[in-house]
Amino acid sequence: MEESQLLPHLFRTEYRKIVSVLCYLFGIDNIEIAEDITNDTFLAATELWSVKGIPENPTAWLYTVAKNKTKNYLKRNSVFEQKLSVEIKHTANKSEEIEIDLSVKNINDSQLAMIFTVCNPANSTEAQIALALNLLCGFGIQEIADGFLTNKEVIYKRINRAKEKLKEANIKIEQPTISEINNRLETVLTTLYLLFSEGYYSTSQNTILRKDLCAEAMRLTFLLIENPTTNLPAVNALLSLMCFHSSRFDARINENGETILYQDQDETLWNQELIEKGQLYLVKASTGNNLSKYHLEAGIAYWHTQKEDTPEKWQNILQLYNRLLILEYSPIAALNRTFALAKTNGKKEAIIEAEKLNLTNNPFYYSLLGNLYTDIDNKKAIENFEKALQITNSPADKATIIKNINLIIRK
């Protein structure tokens, strides 16, 4: 890796680890202190490495500096240090120095505790995602703003409000108990699912950013799988779903940034390693008696990694959508179901079912109708594509819609 890329890379990979350990140590009321110490550590690296060169072990250097800065802070704030010693019950001897543990185990424990802290229903879903990106993934304010297609001020306020709400609710940063996991896992998985979706279905044109969002959601989900208390079927099902979707990432967008419809994707661009991992996690998810929406969505995503267009494939997808809608109804899932219905029962029946949904504020609704009406009633197909064009905000989707309209006109 080039020297110019090393520090930004380390900031992405190590910032989240250091800040999680320090938040775990200091508690919810002192998140800002943990962030300040971590930021100062990277500032020191920026200043010193440019003069003295990159150390032999950059990561170890960052950890050592973070430890020293934490110890120096505690020495300057003796009252806080004594309070901290009592709270964490780390030592009964006040003269004994508090240990800043940056071992792999403590980093993982800290990050797990932080996942359950950040994904707290005291905050809105949007606030949870923004805070997760910032504290758990090391994303900067500008990056998060780019991901949400908004400005820095909006994200800055959102994150600060989220922190304040956690403090007001006196949320503890601690290892989740079995009871806590049972009560909160659904909220945690929802946040990770939406974090992944932010990347996979993002309207941002920054492909690297979109991939990073998906990768971070997968990393955090894998952290849950690595811990025995949270390695549960629903978690494996969610990671399976993410693997299947990610496997087709490179095939979904062409070199012009236009969206490539599923039936037109080049399957040689699908990542077979991710498909195999998805299958592995789906097998691991098939234990116990609880069927989550992630199981069903992972099943649907699995069949989409089977390129061959067989009746069996689309019948299985349709049945999985039927079960998903019974378990947890979603207008988007109902809309996606109509595509499978068109494949099994024909376009005319699918059009009737799709129009019942009446999702007039959704560009995908009109795009789907445009595709369904193509070659049945091309005038109506163009009308629906034009409606989709009017309400979509995505340049990539606009380009795809215009391409579809032009294809119909040429017929």
**Averaged pLDDT, 131-151:** 86
DSSP alpha helices (H): ranges in 286-330? 293-304, 311-327
What average pLDDT does range 199-208 have in this prediction?
70
pTM, rounded to two decimals: 0.87
Nearest residue to 221 via CA among 240, 248, 245, 198: 240
Confidence of residue 98 (pLDDT cuts 50, 70, 90): low
pLDDT, the chain, mean: 89
Whether the per-residue pLDDT at 80 is higher than 70: the answer is no
pLDDT band at 203 (very low <50, low <70, confident <90, very high): low
User: What whole-number distance in Å separates Cα of residue 391 and Cα of residue 224?
Assistant: 38
pLDDT of residue 89: 44
The predicted model gives 198-223 an average pLDDT of: 82
3-class SS of residue 259: strand
Model confidence at 410: pLDDT above 90 = no
Confidence check: pLDDT of 22 > 90:
yes
Residues 6+ apart with CB under 8 A from 347: 372, 373, 376
Q: How confident is the model at residue 20 (pLDDT cuts 50, 70, 90)?
A: very high
Question: Residue 95 gets which letter from DSSP?
Answer: T
- Beta-bridge partner residues of 259: 253
Name residues whose C-beta falls within 8 Å of residue 303's C-beta, 6 or more positions apart in sequence: 313, 316, 317, 320
Q: What is the signed CA dihedral for 260, 198, 335, 247, rounded to 10 degrees?
A: 50
204 falls in which pLDDT band (50, 70, 90)? low
Give the pLDDT mean for 351-380. Answer: 96
Residue 367 or residue 92, greater confidence: 367
Q: Give the contacts of 112 (CB within 8 A, at least 6 positions apart).
A: 175, 176, 223, 224, 227, 230
pLDDT given for residue 280 in this prediction: 98
Q: Which residues contact 240 (CB under 8 A, 6 or more apart)?
A: 277, 278, 279, 280, 281, 282, 284, 285, 294, 298, 301, 302
Is the pLDDT reported for residue 253 higher than 90?
Answer: no
State the pLDDT at residue 84: 58
* pLDDT on residue 374: 96
What is the C-alpha separation between 385 and 366, in angstroms, rounded?
6
Q: How far is CA 172 from CA 28, 51, 129, 150, 311, in A?
A: 6, 41, 19, 31, 52
Work out the number of other CB atoms within 10 angstroms of the CB of residue 273. 9
Which tops the pLDDT comparison, 114 or 144?
Answer: 114
Q: Between vectors from CA 27 to CA 186 and to CA 144, what angle results, nearest 5°?
A: 60
Give the chain's length: 411
Q: What percent of the chain has pLDDT over 90?
A: 66
- Band (pLDDT 50/70/90 cuts) for residue 208 is low
- Where are the chain's structural domains? 1-102, 104-204
How far apart, in whole angstroms, are the C-alpha atoms of residue 194 and residue 214? 10
